[in-house]
Amino acid sequence: MLLAVLFANSEGNILVERFNGVPAEERLHWRSFLVKLGAENLKGAKNEELLVACHKSVYIVYTVLGDVSIYVVGKDEYDELALSEVIFVITSAVKDVCGKPPTERVFLDKYGKICLCLDEIVWKGYLENTDKERIKRLIRLKPPVDF
């Protein structure tokens, strides 16, 4: 299960958070844990350089893209390898929507589209689409070209 996808700005403010199967009372803990993890490790990281950590039996893969840091959290079959696949899809989709690694402003301008992309990529804790071209068409309700 993909437990969480979280976007934060460079100051640690949350831009997007989507939890799956995480009880409401634990979300605050996760949010602060992830933001702290990013603050400690993401400084100086290159765009899309993946960082990895585990906390109990849960895995976390995170990265930075422009002004935005992205975290994905998973357990069981969503281990560090599957998560790196997921975060790769997410970063490509975000770059595609924004045209480049986004500043916070650009990210927020494209907020609606990014939400739609996430909706295509992760659905209730499962990875659904992995191809950015297809995702690009799907969020405009266009059928995929590659079948």
Partner 1 sequence: MAQPFAKKDDDRDEEAEYSPFLGIEKGAVLQEARVFHDPQLDPRRCSQVITKLLYLLNQGETFTKVEATEVFFAVTKLFQSRDIGLRRMVYLMIKEISPSSDEVIMVTSSLMKDMTSRTDVYRANAIRVLCQITDGTLLGQIERYLKQAIVDKNPVVASAALVSGIHILQTNPEIVKRWSNEVQEAVQSRAALVQFHALALLHQIRQNDRLAVSKLVTSLTRGTVRSPLAQCLLVRYASQVIRESANNFQTGERPFYDYLESCLRHKSEMVILEAARAITELSGVTNRELTPAITVLQLFLSSSKPVLRFAAVRTLNKVAMTHPMAVTNCNIDMESLISDQNRSIATLAITTLLKTGNESSVDRLMKQITNFMSDIADEFKIVVVEAIRSLCIKFPLKYRSLMNFLSNILREEGGFEYKKAIVDSIVILIRDIQEAKEIGLLHLCEFIEDCEFTYLSTQILHFLGIEGPKTADPSKFIRYIYNRVHLENATVRACAVTTLAKFGATVDSLKPRIIVLLRRCLFDSDDEVRDRATLYLNTLGADGSVAETDNDVKEFLFDSLDIPLVNLETSLRNYEPSDQPFDINSVPKEIKAQPLAEKKAPGKKPIGLGAPPTAPSAAVDAYDKLLSSIPEFASYGKLFKSSAPVELTEAETEYAVNVVKHIFDHHVLFQYNCTNTIPEQLLENVTVVVDASEAEEFSEVASKPLKSLPYDSPGQTFVAFEKTDGVPAVGKFSNVLKFIVKEVDPTTGEAEEDGVEDEYQLEDLEVVAADYMQKVGVSNFRNAWESMDPEGERVDEYGLGSRESLAEAVNAVMNLLGMQPCEGTEAVPSNSRSHTCLLSGVFIGNVKVLVRLSFGISGQNEVAMKLAVRSEDENVSNTIHEIVASG
Shortest distance in whole angstroms from residue 124 CB to partner 1: 6
Contacts 24+ apart (CB under 8 A), 139-147: 139/113
Q: In terms of CB distance, is 85 or 95 closer to partner 1?
A: 85
Q: Which of 67, 70, 63, 91 shows the shortest CA–CA distance to 7?
A: 70
Enumerate binding residues for partner 1 (CB under 8 A): 8-9, 11-18, 27-28, 31-32, 35-36, 39, 41, 49-54, 61, 77, 79-85, 104-105, 108-109, 111-112, 115-116, 119, 123-124, 126-131, 134, 138-144, 147
Size of the chain, expressed as the number of residues it contains: 147
CB of 30 to partner 1, least distance (A): 11
Cα–Cα nearest to 57, from 72, 79, 36 = 79
